[in-house]
A = this chain, B = another copy of it.
């Protein structure tokens, strides 16, 4: 693969930033990777792991002369970073991000940008429950979707270059508006995370069932929820603060539906329960067919849990 950008700046080097470094190295997509993290420990780790060619003490330094700048920070931090770096951005540079909310990032970042900066917000639909610079791997974006939400006046050539970049990272690319993205992610990602966080909290507060019982018998279902609930709390706080309307809308629908189920249980309406439970298998089958999930039972989890 030929070099696509002479100089790429990673602002933030957690799971996504470090995975981008690994895949850019493997595919030789960048001539030089510069980096910045606000955490001195992360900066040191990233240098030690060889994730960057140059590490900088400020985001402003890191973005100098970069042709592609990728913000890999929690969505609540994007506005401040944009404010910091805007004067240092190279004219003609492409600026993108990887946040799970798009309208709020546009709202926070755009006002700080000068002429000649191509801002194309993005969101790779990929991740694990782990975080930090040691958690990345080159295959993270393999066969996952990356959504780009260009603005009405985005330069088509900049969008095309970013699209090519993500395809080289292994992703498929889809284009939509920031608002539609935020609605789609509210149901596919934000609501599931909220519910997972919530049930972990409910379980932790019980009086009659001990913590250790919840842990011991978690293989009966609960443990699945703890995976996404183990995701980075700062990142997720920012998601919910910045996609409020869409999340509240989906949460309202979820709660209505749950009340219907609750009533069916209370009144012993087995037919209603069976009907609702029956349609779920088809959804999972379609996800597997779409290549977004393993067909192996139990996620292909090692039954001995030794690894």
Number of copies: 2
Q: Which residue of B lies closest to A214 (CB)?
A: B188
Total interface residues on A, CB under 8 Å, equals 114
- Bitwise, A255-271 to B at CB < 8 A (1) or not (0) is 10110011001101010
Q: Which residue of B lies closest to A305 (CB)?
A: B294
The listed residue with most B CB atoms (<10 A of its CB), out of A190, A206, A209, A277, is: A277
Distance in angstroms between the alpha carbons of A236 and B254 in the assembled complex: 20
Top 9 closest pairs, chain A to chain B, by CB: A189-B220, A192-B221, A233-B277, A229-B280, A128-B297, A299-B299, A226-B284, A230-B284, A189-B221
Which segment, of A36-44, A91-99, A193-201, faces chain B?
Answer: A193-201
Residues of B within 8 A of A200 (CB): 279-280, 283
- Docked-complex contact A300 and B292, CB < 8 angstroms: no
- Bitwise, A117-137 to B at CB < 8 A (1) or not (0) is 000000001111110000100
- Bitwise, A168-207 to B at CB < 8 A (1) or not (0) is 0000001000000001110111111111111111111110
Distance in angstroms between the alpha carbons of A258 and B143 in the assembled complex: 34
Chain A interface SS verdict (over half): helix
**Given A230-B280, A258-B255, A292-B223; A287-B189 close (CB under 8 Å):** no
A-B residue pairs in contact (CB < 8 Å), sample of 21: A125-B217, A128-B297, A139-B304, A142-B303, A145-B216, A183-B208, A188-B220, A193-B221, A194-B261, A195-B258, A200-B283, A205-B257, A223-B287, A223-B293, A224-B228, A226-B284, A230-B280, A237-B273, A241-B273, A294-B307, A295-B307
Kindly state whether residue A107 has any CB partner on chain B within 8 Å: no
Could you tell me which residues of chain A, from 60 to 87, have a CB within 8 Å of some CB in chain B?
Answer: none
Distance in angstroms between the alpha carbons of A290 and B300 in the assembled complex: 20
Kindly state whether residue A88 has any CB partner on chain B within 8 Å: no
Q: How far is the CB of A304 from chain B (nearest CB, A)?
A: 6
Which segment, of A5-13, A25-33, A50-58, A245-253, faces chain B?
Answer: A245-253
- Docked-complex contact B129 and A233, CB < 8 angstroms: no
Residues of B within 8 A of A125 (CB): 217, 219-220
Q: How far is the CB of A244 from chain B (nearest CB, A)?
A: 6
**Given A221-B188, A223-B292, A284-B229; A198-B254 close (CB under 8 Å):** yes
Distance in angstroms between the alpha carbons of A85 and B152 in the assembled complex: 72
Residues of B within 8 A of A254 (CB): 198-199, 202
Kindly state whether residue A115 has any CB partner on chain B within 8 Å: no
Kindly state whether residue A165 has any CB partner on chain B within 8 Å: no
